[in-house]
Amino acid sequence: MSANAITPVILGLLAMRPLSGYDIKAVVDRSTRFFWAASYGQIYPELRRLEAEGLVQGEDAPNGGRQRRVYSITPAGRKALVEWLLGRTVTIELRDESLLRLFFADALPKEQALLLLEGRKLGHEQYLAALRAIDARPGQDPEFVDLVLRWGISYNEWGAQWCQQQLDRLRNETKAA
């Protein structure tokens, strides 16, 4: 399997149930997008490539006159998915602009630098609200899908708390000095 970034996403989602390219995009936008995004420009060509490799199989399933092609995973596709799941992890990339700002915040007066920390805290809280809205259906999802959602919630709770702690610490230092 010569993979690119969405390959495992497609195989992983199709391993749960058959989906069209459109469906895949919609599911990604509600789930993995938080740590792994995807666009049509990747999905459709990749579905065709995976079908040519025999890892997925497409079937025309129009809704009335509206064309629609639904893909299922093949046994070979399942095998490729498991191999990827058990292979060695490489990518743990974090691209966090708010953290970058914090890193350079010494260029600001202390007051304004603390504002950046408050902004970051707010970001975590908003993210948290979005994830909790998704969490409205307990027990609906497969166990590990749910686990990752919990991760997102815990991470943002932790992140907001961390910001608050640092705000308290830095404000005390300022006062003490």
C-alpha to C-alpha distances, 50 to 28, 45, 72, nearest whole angstrom: 18, 9, 11
Does 39 help bind DNA (rule: CB under 7 A)? Answer: yes
Q: Give the angle 36-42-48 at the CA atoms, nearest 5°.
A: 125
Say which amino acid occupies 154. Answer: S
**Shortest distance, position 21 Cβ to its own copies, whole Å:** 18
Of the two residues 40 and 104, which places its CB atom closer to its own copies in the complex? 104
Binding-site member from 38, 80, 117, 131 for DNA (CB under 7 A): 38
- Interaction between residue 32 and DNA (CB under 7 A): no
- Nearest CB to its own copies, comparing residues 1 and 105: 105
Residue 12 contacts its own copies per CB under 8 A: yes
Region from 16-24, 74-82, 107-115, 141-149 binding DNA, contact rule CB under 7 A:
16-24
Q: Measured in whole angstroms, how far is the alpha carbon of residue 6 from the centre of its chain?
A: 12
Which helix or strand (DSSP H or E) is residue 83 part of?
helix 75-86
Find out whether 68 and 42 touch, Cβ atoms under 8 Å: no
Rule CB under 8 A: say whether 60 interacts with its own copies. Answer: no
Give, for 57, the enclosing helix (H) or strand (E): strand 56-60
Rounded least distance, CB 31 to DNA, Å: 15
Helix (H, G, I), strand (E, B) or coil at 73: strand
Q: Which helix (H) or strand (E) holds 18?
A: none
The CA distance from 41 to 60, in Å, is 20
Residues found near DNA in the complex (CB under 7 A): 4-6, 20-23, 26, 37-42, 44-45, 47-48, 63-70
Residues found near its own copies in the complex (CB under 8 A): 8-9, 12, 15-16, 31-32, 34-37, 78, 81-82, 84-86, 89-108, 112-113, 115-116, 119-120, 123, 127, 142-145, 147-148, 150-151, 154-155, 158, 162, 166, 170
